[in-house]
Amino acid sequence: MFVHHVFFWLKNADSEEDKSKLLEGLEKMKAIEGVRTLHIGVPATTNRDVIERGYALSWLLIFDNLEDQVNYQVHPIHKKFVEECSSLWSKVIVYDAVDA
């Protein structure tokens, strides 16, 4: 199992328009094959010191293995997403985790 979890901070943190554009870009990537589990998220209402709530959108993909994740990285739809949407974000943090 390969877990790929991405968190996006927007340049214009209060812009609902930019958030919608980013969401739209992520939605388009649902067409990429080879993904076992997919989730587009926003911060939950839970609020404790250890919880990071500053990001605008999260993007969770679970793959069967590293190879499927590599295929996703080089997929034309993913490349187009980065091209079209990277101007919207100020920060991205990625966590890639494999079985412990």
- By CB under 8 A, name the binding residues for a second copy: 1-3, 5, 7, 23, 26, 37, 39-46, 48, 50-53, 55, 57-58, 60, 62, 66, 69, 92-100
**Is 31 or 44 the residue whose CB approaches a second copy more closely?**
44
CB of 33 to a second copy, least distance (A): 20
Q: Which amino acid is at 94?
A: V
Query: What whole-number distance in Å separates Cα of residue 46 and Cα of residue 6?
Result: 19
Phi, psi of 68 (to 5 degrees): -65, -35
CB of 99 to a second copy, least distance (A): 7
Helix (H, G, I), strand (E, B) or coil at 48: coil
Q: Which amino acid is at 16?
A: E
Residue 62, token pair as written in the block: 């679970």
CB of 80 to a second copy, least distance (A): 18
Query: Which residues are paired to 76 by β-bridges?
Result: none
CB of 23 to a second copy, least distance (A): 6
**Is 31 or 94 the residue whose CB approaches a second copy more closely?**
94
